[in-house]
Structure 1
């Protein structure tokens, strides 16, 4: 589910649910949350690289499990879950590098807001699918993505639920470097290793000075998003989206009541 490898003071975390396109279920949310906490506390780790196994970086939240969560009153959530992962990302005080090896949806894209450097395969794609799922943004993406790409690029990404190509992501400023798929891991790890040779205390200080001024705005954005998400989850549009996904068909929102 999560592969962990250490080399040269770089810890690589590889999402390893390739058959599910590395979608986050509760167990994976918990595993990556614990891994980030452990990496932050481990004095032998200077830099973390996060990537995916197979043809996806991450397909976001596991929609089959999300559907069960909405409909099953006996559903047992994980210890940390989605919110615990975002807490861990917001608090992570060492350099975090993403190597986006394939498609990234939902948290597979919004996690970019918490990364320090992002490398992306030139055949990979990104999507914020929130409106197509009848829900709201997540992970402070309504604040962090406009900071990265500007209001109109962010508005299109968050409103449209359309795919964003690697070239578009690079032009917007979502990612730092594009790589041929076969060069992605080597390029990301080369940069990670160069950072890892430097003093961890200085790396932490640089990150703190860059991220600390944003903490209040991130927390406020998360609160707004969480309220909207809770209001919409299980509602008419979200129910139609999850039912359509389970049935393998396109969602049809045109007949929903009250403009939902």
Structure 2
């Protein structure tokens, strides 16, 4: 299975399990994660959630072949595609969510971290949000959340240029909690999740609710706004050039567009 889920000692672990495709995410994988998060919300035995990948890679982001195959349905105004369901479930989760990231976290692999409560990186982690390089724009409220965390100028650099940044830089910016040697990452994240699971569930939920305040509603609004831009840009010439260049293994040429 491309998404593995496991419940033990109050912890739901969601694991990207498609290493042969660099854990690239399909719509079926998004649906599986959305369902797991929604089930966890009503499951009293789940007290903390841990999202992780493989030692060599967290996720390469969207599976572009699957993404383009479903592009038309993703752009439909009334559609609630699996990726949107997943990110909405993550945004609305009342339970603490921890991410343990090693290797590359591309595109939505970095975006989803902004919706987690605690983020731990291995020293080999490399984050990126290459939306502009694909003729697209930020997604799922990253244009709002990222600058709230790291400040406007740093967010502008990462979102506008779309260049990758290291675990050390992510920590220095205040984006993540801790950077660890690869072999220590998962045990440490599991230990943190176990600490949360051992605490009073009502206290953790209340603390998260108080810290988040009205943010989930604001995030939902921003997600909808970004989705309008994203959907329109998905069918624009710039994105078509970027995707064609990707499949043809060449550098895209945006000079022809204003």
Same fold (TM over 0.5): yes
| Residue in structure 2 matched with residue 132 of structure 1 by the alignment | 133
| Residue in structure 2 matched with residue 23 of structure 1 by the alignment | 24
Distance 2:220 2:46 in 1: 27
Residues 72 and 81 (structure 1), Cα distance of their counterparts in 2 relative to 1, 3 Å cut: closer
**CA-CA distance at 1:71 after TM superposition:** 7.3
| Residue in structure 2 matched with residue 32 of structure 1 by the alignment | 33
What TM-score, normalized by structure 2, do the two folds share?
0.93
In the comparison of the two structures, how many residue pairs are matched? 253
Residues 80 and 234 (structure 1), Cα distance of their counterparts in 2 relative to 1, 3 Å cut: closer
| Residue in structure 2 matched with residue 181 of structure 1 by the alignment | 182
| Residue in structure 1 matched with residue 231 of structure 2 by the alignment | 230
Q: Stretches of 4+ moved more than 4 A in 1?
A: none
SS of residue in 1 equivalent to 2:139: coil
For the Cα contact (< 8 Å) 1:122–1:167, is it kept in 2? yes
Greater mean alpha carbon deviation, residues 36-45 or residues 79-88: 79-88
SS of residue in 2 equivalent to 1:135: coil
Residues 202 and 80 (structure 1), Cα distance of their counterparts in 2 relative to 1, 3 Å cut: farther
Distance 1:251 1:129 in 2: 13
Greater mean alpha carbon deviation, residues 209-218 or residues 226-235: 209-218
Distance 1:188 1:209 in 2: 23
Distance 1:217 1:244 in 2: 36
What TM-score, normalized by structure 1, do the two folds share?
0.93
**CA-CA distance at 1:80 after TM superposition:** 4.5
**CA-CA distance at 1:213 after TM superposition:** 2.1
SS of residue in 1 equivalent to 2:213: helix
Distance 1:35 1:118 in 2: 20
**What's the RMSD between the two structures over aligned residues?**
1.7
Any residues of structure 2 matched to 1:27-176 within 5 Å, and which? 27-70=28-71, 80-176=81-177
Distance 1:245 1:72 in 2: 21
1:167-211, Cα deviation, whole Å (9 max, x unpaired): 100001111100101110001011111111001111111111112
Residues 80 and 237 (structure 1), Cα distance of their counterparts in 2 relative to 1, 3 Å cut: closer
Distance 1:80 1:255 in 2: 32
Is 1:249 aligned to residue 243 of structure 2?
A: no
1:67-108, Cα deviation, whole Å (9 max, x unpaired): 2234799xxxx9841111111011111000000121001110
SS of residue in 1 equivalent to 2:147: helix
Distance 1:79 1:138 in 2: 15
Residues 194 and 161 (structure 1), Cα distance of their counterparts in 2 relative to 1, 3 Å cut: same
For the Cα contact (< 8 Å) 2:141–2:222, is it kept in 1? yes
Unaligned runs of 5+ in 2: none
For the Cα contact (< 8 Å) 1:11–1:45, is it kept in 2? yes
Distance 1:79 1:157 in 2: 28
Distance 1:226 1:118 in 2: 25
Distance 1:66 1:52 in 2: 20
**CA-CA distance at 1:55 after TM superposition:** 1.8
